[in-house]
Amino acid sequence: MKKGRSILFLVTEDWYFVLHRLPIARAALQAGYQVLVATQLSQHRDLLEGEGFTVIPMKWRRSSLNPLHALGEIRQILAIYRRYTPDLVHHIALKPSLYGSIAARWSGTAPVVNNLAGLGQAFSSTGLAASVIRQGLITAFRLLFRRRHSCTIVENTDDRQFLIDTVGMSPDRAVLILGIGVDEARFAYHEESGQAIPAVVMVSRLLWPKGVRELVEAGRLLRTRGLDVVIRLVGKPDEASSVSVPQEVLQAWHEQGDIEWLGHQDDIPKIWAEAAIAVLPSYYREGIPRSLLEAAACGRPVVTTDMPGCREIVEDGVNGYLVTPGDVASLADALEKLINDPLLRARMGRAGREMVLARFTERQVVGQTLETYRSLLLECE
């Protein structure tokens, strides 16, 4: 393989890239690739340029479905691909994968890595509108994701099987890489801090499909059973999302004592060190939730739903519990078992740490991703 090849990462927001793909870009740079990042900039331009990456500012309307906006964004990507002529493009998340694949076809750019971090709301919602969007996306996947010298990375086994069975993708082009990886040194194992009331903690974007309302209702149910419970929400609403939990609702819950809302926090290892139980009652098609991987690495048992992505990190009864999506009583029952049994929490926490070290480390994910790049580039020589 030739030296000095360039990789262009296409992603909607700089904060998302820093949070989810920075270790891979660093490793690519260290491996001798030139790294370009095309994204909408909000706060991380200096960080990205300080890493040695070429930063290409873009404009995205992340929540817009307007066809004229889509056409403008595809033209913008096409101009970037023609100007910079990258040797490989890595599209991160759904919209960049769709629009970037169209631009790559028009510009003749190859190879292409599409990276789906879960299938999202369209594949977990019901109703006519969701069904129409879902069928449209399946058609787009069939047209765009099965081209030569391309592959699609997914984060869980359910999504890979979907690509093979429903989209008709060749198994060797549907690449399973489990999540984004955990820095096991930063997210070190900690015994519980010994607080009188065990804290149940959810770290997430605060969207309704993440199960925020169900968690609040489960807390209320546990209190009616006479159980003291502390529920902490860490994260903030996503103003660009139509399903974001309004800030005034979060504030009202906080003032009523239903939850402790901590907002955005930078020191997530500290959050898990002070927690007893990690929870994510999502009914959203996740990739693999980063927060659950980090919690398990820190030795926290996990309560989450039996949904694609979520169930990848939990072996039911071993390092946590899987509950029925949307079932408040099931969620409350699982939390009650763990709140009442510190020895069970400790045993499950150790099992979760062992699972992360065996399957979900940052080192493993970075290595698998770089190998994917190498294989595709070799195909094109």
pTM for the whole thing? 0.91
- The type of residue at 268 is I
What domains appear along the chain, each with residue ranges and CATH number? 6-181+361-379 (3.40.50.2000), 199-359 (3.40.50.2000)
- What whole-number distance in Å separates Cα of residue 359 and Cα of residue 355? 6
- Report pLDDT for 1: 39
- Report pLDDT for 65: 65
pLDDT in tens, the chain (381 residues): 345 799 999 999 999 999 999 999 999 999 999 999 999 999 899 999 999 999 999 999 866 667 788 899 999 999 999 999 999 999 999 999 999 999 999 999 989 999 998 887 778 777 788 788 889 999 999 999 999 899 999 999 999 999 999 999 999 999 999 999 999 999 999 999 878 899 999 999 999 999 999 999 999 999 999 999 999 999 999 887 888 999 999 999 999 999 999 999 999 999 999 999 999 999 988 899 999 999 999 999 999 999 999 999 999 999 999 999 999 999 999 999 999 999 999 999 999 999 999 999 999 999 999 999 999 999 987
Q: Are 225 and 336 in contact (CB under 8 A)?
A: yes
**Number of neighbouring beta carbons within 10 Å of residue 169:** 20
Q: How far is CA 126 from the centre of its chain?
A: 22
CA-closest candidate to residue 77, choices 134, 144, 32, 31: 144
- What whole-number distance in Å separates Cα of residue 155 and Cα of residue 177? 5
Q: Are 288 and 179 in contact (CB under 8 A)?
A: yes
- Report pLDDT for 2: 46
- Report pLDDT for 62: 67
- Report pLDDT for 9: 98
- Report pLDDT for 323: 98
- Report pLDDT for 68: 81
